[in-house]
Amino acid sequence: MRIIISLFIYIFLSQSSLYAEVNSAVVFMYHRFGDDRYPSTNIKLEQFEKHLEYIEKNNFNVWPLSKIVRYITAGKKLPLKTVALTIDDAYISTYTEAYPRLKKRNFPFTVFVSTNAVDTSSKNYMHWDEMREMSKNGAEFANHSLTHDYLLLRKSESKEQWKSRVKIEIMGAQNRLHKELGEEINENPKLFSYPFGEYDGYLTVLLKKLDYVGVTQTSGVVSNECDLRTLPRFAMAEVFADIDDFILKINTLPLPIESLSPTDPLVTSDNPPQLKLKLKRAINNLQCYTSSGDRVNMKWISKTEVIIQAKNPLKAPRNRYTCTAPAKESRWYWHSNLWIIK
């Protein structure tokens, strides 16, 4: 009996030590559901069903993204196995396919809306009445800009012109959300999903001045140590959404990073770019790859400092260095770094 009790205590403490080091949640991003015309942004309905079944059967805590951010900003401990389901662009299949499945399970979710597309009354997008219905049944709505335009500084515009354009995109969409869905919508906190997942140092600074939390399309785990202008999400599309991939990602842990440089993903010269990571502690078997799966060079300066650089120039418009390492209990540490190649 003593042996059994001791074994239980050992397992409990081992698990506790793994979780004690992080205060994190996994966030997923979807776009279209059951629309195989767009495989790069679509998820098959059978894939989505398996995701929801796994979440349900394994007792994950499904929270709206806003609640996760409130916990992080307040310094509160997130429950173990916390996950958020987010959907970008407000395509009609969000209402016809995703919503009934999420409502059936009482799963809350977050929809990022590009408001001009909705205002066109196109059959490809949800209507405001449908969103009002959804808001009564677990949906929250957040800002994805007016027009879903590229928001980085253009060669043809001054910085003041750029700033004016971006403010119109963000504040205009927020005004439409308020007018159609209520003044309290997307206010606590104010969430903004970058169109195309693109941001740079200028844009994150402006977002902070406007008091928004920035949400990316770069894979990784949200934790109390994340930059609130660049929260990561795992993108779910047909090629990345099989149940084995989903299970791996929902159980990931944030790579324990003390610092990294550069923080601006814009690559204007020196391609391939160098990424320097300083880890909080030594991590065994860390490996890094580009978006195409090519292994990158890693030069260790010390047991916790490494310089990462692809072997060949990265191709425009976007690429990533994704670094993973095995953790306990068959889980993985994960960090992905976005690059935007001009």
| pLDDT per position as a tens digit, 315-342 | 999 999 999 999 999 999 999 999 999 8
Read off the tokens for 70. 């409130």
pLDDT on residue 21: 56
CA atoms within 13 A on the CB side of 294: 15
Confidence of residue 4 (pLDDT cuts 50, 70, 90): very low
Average pLDDT across the chain, whole number? 94
- Residues 307 and 260: their CA atoms lie apart, in Å, by 10
pLDDT for position 6: 40
What the chain holds in terms of domains, given with CATH numbers, is 21-251 (3.20.20.370), 258-341 (2.60.40.1220)
pLDDT given for residue 28 in this prediction: 98
Lowest mean pLDDT across 15-29, 67-81, 164-178, 225-239 = 15-29
Residues 132-137, mean pLDDT to the nearest whole number: 97
Distances 42 to 47, 98, 114, 130 between C-alpha atoms, Å: 10, 12, 18, 21
Q: Looking at residues 194-201, what average pLDDT do you find?
A: 97
Does the pLDDT at position 235 exceed 50? yes
**Alpha helices (runs of H) in 182-314, residue ranges in sequence order:** 201-209, 243-250
Residue 279 has pLDDT above 90, yes or no: yes
Average pLDDT over residues 43-50: 98
Angle, to 10 degrees, between the axis of helix 243-250 and the axis of helix 45-57? 40
Q: Tell me the average pLDDT across 61-77.
A: 97
- Residues 88-101: what's their mean pLDDT? 98
Element (H, E) at 190: strand 190-193
Report yes or no: 242 and 314 within 8 Å, Cβ to Cβ: no
Confidence of residue 9 (pLDDT cuts 50, 70, 90): very low
pLDDT at position 20 over 60: no
Rounded to whole angstroms, the Cα distance separating 208 from 210 reads 5
Give 11 or 84, the one with higher predicted confidence. Answer: 84
